[in-house]
Structure 1
Amino acid sequence: MEHAEFNKDLMEFLNQSPTPWHAVSTMKRRLDAAGFEQLDERDDWSLARNKGYYVIRNGSSIVAFRTGIGDVSLNGIRMVGAHTDSPCLKVKPNPELRRKGYFQLGVEVYGGVLLNPWFDRDLSLAGRVTLLDEAGEVRDTLVDFQKPVAFIPSLAIHLDREANSNRSVNAQTDLPPVLMQVPEADTTRFDDLLGQQVAAETGLKARKILGYELSFYDAQKAAFVGLREEFLASARMDNLLSCYIGLQSLLHTSGDEAALLVCNDHEEVGSMSAEGAQGPFLTAVLDRWCGAGKARAIAHSMMISADNAHGVHPNYSDRHDENHGPVLNQGPVIKVNHNQRYATNSRSAALYRHISDELGLPHQTFVVRSDMACGSTIGPLTAGNLGVTTLDIGVPQFGMHSIRELVGAEDGYTLFRVLSEFMQRKTIF
């Protein structure tokens, strides 16, 4: 896969994946096209060597793997992990708000959202809907309005003279998006509007909307940015960029060695769920794949947790340790925290550096300032659950947890090349 093709396909993937459910659906289509077989957790499994499989849980998390040609208990598994969710605004169950002739929806903040950039953006809406169809069956479907349908207008500076020095955002009162104007006697129900959209997209006619998990998202598409197009801007770079890199790496391996990609939901809210990294999903898949040889397989294995890193901001360079400020387009970032907020150790970092050096590719290191708190990833959670040697790494970016984020146009492809080599490497340690 060439560099230009990689970035073009990445932007298409980002545009097709406004929610975790859409991201997993997009990955499923690509795995199907590559000949991978879907497994159902409710069925017995009979796994063959030298084949590709995948398992989906809740529609929003996925484990895909190649079984390789050897004995997995002797050769181990080359694992890559990422997460499908991103901070956003989710629609509440009873969301209708009518104020001064405007129809709005109440929203709940999901994850550590950087709220200010959500104002004055063209917003669309997407997610999963559970409904009762005409035949009386309960079923799930995906919905994506795919066009600007809402807006969160800022309060004019004339009405808030301290807006540039002292404006805070109240998540309850300041964030409900405006969808349309309605008459005073309006009785529009959001469920009715949603049912119409489902019918338009899928042909399904809902007797009743039973539930939904819907997120607003930035309707602006991914794009190159910069006079020389050095950067890529998009929503959900954290962490769909890593999902895409992991998927492409798995698809481009030789298939001789056992390799696995896990993309969990709910990382942004702590990962404690049935399909999150603190839950049993990956362990359950490995139990069924490896059987009695699982402990030996894990001892021969390694996990690379890929989640974007904080690039040093030229306007706020003092927020970084002076020797550990990653620069965009200068390579993926090995993330180190000796308090185990990242799972990197000297062995896992050494293997990545060795592969990267062999390929002649750059890499960087991030350590948070000693007087600042450190974020975390699925890395320590997966390492703790499985007992597997783990590396935390990520592409450096600006605007993490904003509605629109920025990465270097070189770094994703660099990480793809290293992970592709890692996933087909005969010997890990």
Structure 2
Amino acid sequence: MTEEKKADYAYQAKNAWTEMEVDEREEVFDFNKKYAEFISNNKTEREFASAAIRKLEAAGFKNIDQVEQLKAGDKIYSLNRSRALMAAVIGQDDLAAGLKLVGSHIDSPRLDLKPNPLYEAGEMAMFKTHYYGGIKKYQWVTMPLALHGVIIKEDGSKVEIKLGEEANDPVFFISDILPHLGKEQMKKSMSEGISGEQLNVVIGSIPVADSEVKEKIKTAILEYLKREYEITGEDFISAELQLVPAYKTRDAGFDRGLLAGYGHDDRVCSYTALEAILDIDNPKSTAVILLMDREEVGSMGNTGMQSHFFEDQVANLVDLYYADYSELLVRKVLQNSKVLSADVNAAYDPDFADVYAKHNSAYLGKGVVVSKYTGARGKSGSSEASAEFMGEVRGLFNRAGVVWQPAELGKVDAGGGGTIAQFLANYNMDVLDCGPAVLSMHSPYEVVSKADVYHSYLAYNVFLEK
């Protein structure tokens, strides 16, 4: 057997850039420019969901609550508490034949304000925070932070805040000890160098002029908040306020082939899934996307994948599609469905090569990643796709020209992680993890390849449509 013939039989992941023609490369850059603008402007679950609905409605999608009957070609969406949503295009096949579903999440690691956050210390006004999701706490100090979120007042009115993103906005930051005095800190492990209770945000320093006031700087901030937003200290108790990196998503590298930004995990999958369903008009199977909340903290809560939101919406579809509703029909729709769990994987990092399995790692620029399983140690805390479903998906991708690569998350016993795949698989669906590789995942500034972003879109689009 010749060496050339042996090479034909061997598997080797392709580099997506070398597979492109010039006009496709231009399309990749244009697609990523729009993606970068979208995630730069929508850094919270509420902002992402709201912007997604604007795009859906502009494309003819209707709120499911306003629909009385469903037929092939209809486009609907459902919003859950402003932080999670489902969108669907009804297919040609009978609904009971199952859905083609792409499920992702729109929450990212961040710092949440505590219910009673405001205090004064060291001639500064400060906010107390509680970190959300898996972060390296030392990465969040001495960087510009923006404040995003909503405050619900006791009369039910809503105040929206988005401060720190514009060039003329003030930013916020968390201090760190100078190296001249950091001897004891630097003796600690990296996980202990900055504690959760030290993630306190500097928000002001100018006191009120009233000599009778004890906490002059705190009072000055309260007066500012009352003047600018008509809120009081008690209003923080019914608020969802997040501190996120104030950076914009930007091109990275001389060749501009990478994107650096906050929240690629997992908004890169959510955005590409959204664009994929927006480009579908008449699918064979009913096409569905799920943009869920709270994945970074276990998918628990009424906006997470472990809630009944998805199941309730499938029941809603069945009720509007068939003349006679039955619970058995709901179960048939669920068990006949096929799912891509759209979440990111860890990109191989040569500076930390010891934790990656070289031949089973994801690489930037080699297309969308398919992961048969996630989990940790002995594959715990995850589902696993069947060989049949793996074969079906790779065949679909190959025929459509989607560049893809297989990978798992690091070496065995080096760590691990999970996605919403396990919760979808509990409905007896076929589920496969599928998303782009991310460098420096869960950091305030993550990196993805523009080629991988685009091929994620292609993968989701062909899966939903075909």
- Partners of 1:191 and 1:383 lie apart in 2 by 49
| Structure 2 counterparts to residues 155-234 of structure 1, below 5 A | 155-161=177-183, 166=188, 168-183=192-207, 185-188=216-219, 193-194=224-225, 196-198=227-229, 209=235, 211-234=238-261
Matching of residue 405 in structure 1 with residue 446 in structure 2: yes
* 2:60 paired residue number: 35
Residues 175/259 of structure 1: CA separation in 2 closer, same or farther (3 Å cut): same
Give, as a single letter, the amino acid of the residue that structure 2 aligns with 1:374.
Answer: G
Matching of residue 296 in structure 1 with residue 294 in structure 2: no
5+ residue gaps in structure 2? 1-23, 208-214, 320-325, 374-378
- Residue 100 of structure 1 deviates from its aligned partner by 1.5
Would the aligned equivalents of 2:368 and 2:459 in 1 still touch at CA under 8 Å? no
Cα distance per residue 1:312-360 (max 9 Å; x no partner): 1110111012321211011111123354524433233222211221123
* 1:202 paired residue number: none
Give, as a single letter, the amino acid of the residue that structure 1 aligns with 2:219.
Answer: T
- Partners of 2:226 and 2:268 lie apart in 1 by 32
* 1:51 paired residue number: 74
Residues 410/121 of structure 1: CA separation in 2 closer, same or farther (3 Å cut): same
Percent identical pairs in the alignment equals 25
1:239 to 252, 266, 284: 266
Deviates more, 1:240-249 or 1:182-191: 182-191
5+ residue gaps in structure 1? 200-204
SS of 2:204's partner is strand
| Structure 2 counterparts to residues 12-161 of structure 1, below 5 A | 12-40=37-65, 45-74=68-97, 76-132=98-154, 137-145=155-163, 146=165, 147-161=169-183
SS of 1:254's partner is coil
- Residue 207 of structure 1 deviates from its aligned partner by 12
RMSD of aligned residue pairs (Cα, Å): 2.3
- Residue 16 of structure 1 deviates from its aligned partner by 1.6
- Partners of 2:421 and 2:225 lie apart in 1 by 37
Deviates more, 1:95-104 or 1:183-192: 183-192
Residues 335/102 of structure 1: CA separation in 2 closer, same or farther (3 Å cut): same
Would the aligned equivalents of 2:28 and 2:450 in 1 still touch at CA under 8 Å? no
* 2:314 paired residue number: 286
Cα distance per residue 1:273-307 (max 9 Å; x no partner): 11110110000000111243222223332011111
- Partners of 1:397 and 1:207 lie apart in 2 by 39
TM-score in terms of structure 2 length: 0.83
* 2:433 paired residue number: 392
TM-score in terms of structure 1 length: 0.90
Residues 275/45 of structure 1: CA separation in 2 closer, same or farther (3 Å cut): farther
Would the aligned equivalents of 2:137 and 2:196 in 1 still touch at CA under 8 Å? no
- Residue 149 of structure 1 deviates from its aligned partner by 2.4
Give, as a single letter, the amino acid of the residue that structure 2 aligns with 1:179.
Answer: I
Matching of residue 267 in structure 1 with residue 295 in structure 2: yes
Residues 165/399 of structure 1: CA separation in 2 closer, same or farther (3 Å cut): farther
- Residue 161 of structure 1 deviates from its aligned partner by 3.2
- Partners of 2:233 and 2:398 lie apart in 1 by 59
Q: Which is helix-richer, 1 or 2?
A: 2
Cα distance per residue 1:378-423 (max 9 Å; x no partner): 1111211x22110111210111111110111110100111211111
Residues 197/307 of structure 1: CA separation in 2 closer, same or farther (3 Å cut): farther
SS of 1:86's partner is coil
Residues 356/196 of structure 1: CA separation in 2 closer, same or farther (3 Å cut): farther
Would the aligned equivalents of 1:332 and 1:411 in 2 still touch at CA under 8 Å? yes
Give, as a single letter, the amino acid of the residue that structure 2 aligns with 1:182.
Answer: I
- Partners of 1:118 and 1:269 lie apart in 2 by 18
- Partners of 2:88 and 2:290 lie apart in 1 by 9
- Partners of 2:461 and 2:83 lie apart in 1 by 24
Would the aligned equivalents of 2:204 and 2:217 in 1 still touch at CA under 8 Å? no
Would the aligned equivalents of 2:347 and 2:361 in 1 still touch at CA under 8 Å? yes
Residues 164/350 of structure 1: CA separation in 2 closer, same or farther (3 Å cut): farther
- Residue 8 of structure 1 deviates from its aligned partner by 0.9
Which of 1 and 2 has greater Rg? 2
